[in-house]
Chains A and B, each alone.
Chain A
């Protein structure tokens, strides 16, 4: 009796310690962001104050107003939206189209095409940025915002993900539609697409994170900084405005908020998609 009571107490203590440890780790993981957020809401004379204030007093939105009015963050934000929406839509449409015959048809060349796609996962693409830059130059797309999302507009990952999903859709549905006189396009549009919604959502979230966060390719392919998406603009501005950090802090917060919202809303799909993608 006594030992079981002791056991229960020690288990309780363990539990509290575990929570404590996990909270400390959570603070390490989120603390820097909170500190940045706090900095962005401070008045200039308080940002180096000691002891550090986590909750700014007085609290001010002047950095955000300055960033939007003087640094034109609305433009960068819209550039990001344009690039992200462009990349996501092309991949969602073209990958889900390409996956259909790969999952459902028999045709000459299928095996070779599939093998070539798999090979891109193993062969090094070490000069990818250079070759893509030269290609864009030849296509006269340098300094155009479309050039930012075109190279990643169709992904092998997307094609694989949708092919896996199509393979699981029962053939009877397809046959029934065919007997009713549906065209191949109709079958893809009315049966395959609606039934693979969860996979499409996963793909869209993944692509959202990729396109929204990418910055290097934008810095290479765009010459006019006014065309930069948020991430590239931040990298560019952090050098220029190093002396006024609260502006950079506010800009960084603006750039991160959409990602955090999308992640929190779609966390389930994202996490399970992540684990599944890596396993495959």
Chain B
């Protein structure tokens, strides 16, 4: 009898789990495994696959365009220090008790919830050669000729980086805000009473206590910088003349324009490897001294 009830509960457990497990198996677990294996195959658009060993990886090493794209993805990491510094400052500002502070928080967060398509279309419009920024700057006389933010090879990548920074600020601000609220308020008060200046309180108390959040945010933003896709795809399409081609975009083109699924999977695996390496570096540099984690 007791055994029966137990067996019943096991069956019940799996009945509750099965729908979710089916979805996760097909769309989450299987792609991880199949994706790794796919890199060793040549897969054409007719669906014929042949095992070709390491050929895809060998090709990747001599694929100039891939390394150029990879270089741009690594350059994209430049966003990380700026976005972290600015979002910490924003968090400290909005963490003050002040009337209407709440409204500012919301305003800074709105770019986070809007779609990248909407954001990219908006910024393309603002940054156009005859867009509002150029039109004001040239009419005021600050510029002789409009700046080609998105259409010059020197600027395109950096202009998109700015949009990434702008859209992401609010997201990291909220994480830092949660970190700040975990900092015991008394601590800063005591330091201030001891005569510490505001910047000293920040530098010696607030920032060190934020360390776990800084690690988390740096890892997250470095990962998404290396994997950046959406804003590049919409705003420049990798151009002009591949000057903003990043690894994820090249992989996407290899898969869904050239229909070389196997090669694209191999490239994706290599990008994942680079992301992994940078994540480990981040943990090594920022992870130590985690003892002062506020808990």
A-side residues, CB < 8 A to B, are 15, 18-19, 21-23, 25-26, 28-30, 32-33, 35-36, 39, 48, 50-52, 90, 93-95, 97-98, 100-102, 105, 107-108, 110, 113, 116-117, 120, 123-135, 137, 150-154, 156, 159, 184, 188, 209, 212-216, 220, 231-232, 234-235, 238, 245, 248-249, 252, 255-256, 259-260, 263-264, 267, 270-271, 274-275, 278-279
Q: How far is the CA of A156 from the CA of B24 in the complex (A)?
A: 8
Q: How far is the CA of A263 from the CA of B112 in the complex (A)?
A: 10
Which of A100, A232, A234 is the one whose CB lies under 8 Å from B118? A234
Q: Which residue of A lies closest to B111 (CB)?
A: A29
- Which of chain A's residues have a CB closer than 8 A to the CB of B114? 33, 213, 256, 259-260
Which of B12, B26, B175 is the one whose CB lies under 8 Å from A184? B12
Q: Count A/B pairs, Cβ under 8 Å.
A: 233
Query: What 0/1 readout, one digit per residue, does chain B (229-251) give for beta carbons within 8 Å of chain A?
Result: 11001100000000000000001
B107 and A26 contacting across the interface, CB-CB below 8 Å: yes
Which of B122, B216, B261 is the one whose CB lies under 8 Å from A32? B122
Does B70 sit within 8 A of A, measured CB to CB?
no
A98 and B35 contacting across the interface, CB-CB below 8 Å: no
Q: Which residue of B lies closest to A232 (CB)?
A: B117
Contact flag A271-B174 (CB < 8 Å), given A94-B19, A159-B20: yes
Sample (9) of A-B pairs whose CB atoms are under 8 Å apart: A26-B107, A26-B108, A101-B17, A107-B14, A125-B28, A156-B28, A249-B125, A274-B175, A278-B178
- Which of chain A's residues have a CB closer than 8 A to the CB of B19? 93-94, 97-98, 154
Contact flag A33-B122 (CB < 8 Å), given A52-B132, A216-B230, A220-B256: yes
For residue A35, give the distance in angstroms from its CB to the closest CB of chain B.
6
Q: Which residue of A lies closest to B268 (CB)?
A: A126
Top 10 closest pairs, chain A to chain B, by CB = A127-B35, A126-B268, A124-B272, A98-B20, A213-B115, A275-B178, A101-B13, A154-B23, A131-B31, A127-B265
Q: Which residue of B lies closest to A159 (CB)?
A: B20
Interface centre among A32, A235, A238, A249 (most CB of B within 10 A): A32
- Which of chain B's residues have a CB closer than 8 A to the CB of A263? 109-110, 113
A95 and B20 contacting across the interface, CB-CB below 8 Å: yes
Q: 8 Å CB contacts to A: which residues of B195-241?
A: 216, 220, 229-230, 233-234
From B59-67, B71-79, B88-96, B148-156, give the one contacting chain A. Answer: B88-96
A39 and B31 contacting across the interface, CB-CB below 8 Å: no
